Amino acid sequence: MDVLPGGRAADTDLAALADLLAGPLLPAARGLLGCRLHAGGVTVRITEVEAYAGTAGDPASHAHRGRTPRNAVMFGPAGYSYVYFTYGMHWCMNVVTGVAGEAAAVLLRAGEVVDGLAVAQARRPAVRRDVDLARGPARLCSALGIDRAAYGEHLLGDGPVRLRPPARPVPPEAVIAGPRVGVTGAHDLPWRFWLDGDPTVSLYRRHVPRTRP
């Protein structure tokens, strides 16, 4: 397990993060901002997230229609990774939250590479600016080398994918909330959270339904 400055205080911080993730969805999503995600020789500071509930009232959630082999980890317990493949080419990662038996997860939308920069650059050689290395959920996973093997990882343990508390607290006034990006249902729920003014935050794109000719 990572050793953070402060000895026992680091253990206390990790326990506090575990408690946060096991609680209500939206505070957990906000609390993930500033946390550090380690994988594949790279560390990313999380700057943008999106919350997704389970079967109750969130048609954009992968768990909206109930448990499947794909989304089973979303039903808890909290603190595990839900990784899925999208558009036939990209991996995206969520952090499972809430109580066991009730599906909820937070999509990691963007982050700042704070360690392992050369490794992240090698994984994404076409990127011209470092702020774009993990700007977007698929780019974040690419920079970290995350794929299907990370599904179901315990993020608060000492495994290959590890989530740790922020190096310093994020003040509430630094967090902005707004609608989620590109979802086909519950378009305008303000369940996306990001660090105000951070250049690594992804661009907002509202879902536009296709019209048939």
Tens of pLDDT, residue by residue over 75-105, are: 989 999 999 998 778 999 999 999 999 999 9
Q: Is 41 within a domain?
A: yes
pLDDT tens sequence across 116-171: 999 999 999 999 999 999 999 999 999 999 999 999 999 999 999 999 999 899 99
Tell me the CATH number at 90: 3.10.300.10
In this structure, what token pair is assigned to residue 124? 């994404």
pTM of the model: 0.90
CA distances from 100 to 20, 28, 49, 176, 201 (A): 14, 15, 21, 28, 30
Largest Cα–Cα distance in the chain? 64
pLDDT tens sequence across 32-61: 999 999 999 999 999 999 999 987 678 888
The domain total for the chain is 1
Domain that holds residue 42: 8-167
Q: Is 186 within a domain?
A: no
- Residue 66 is predicted with a pLDDT of 81
Rg (CA), the chain: 16
- Residue 28 is predicted with a pLDDT of 98
Q: Is 102 within a domain?
A: yes
Rounded CA-CA distance 102/97 in Å is 9
Given a contact cutoff of 8 angstroms between Cβ atoms, the answer to whether 78 and 84 are in contact is no
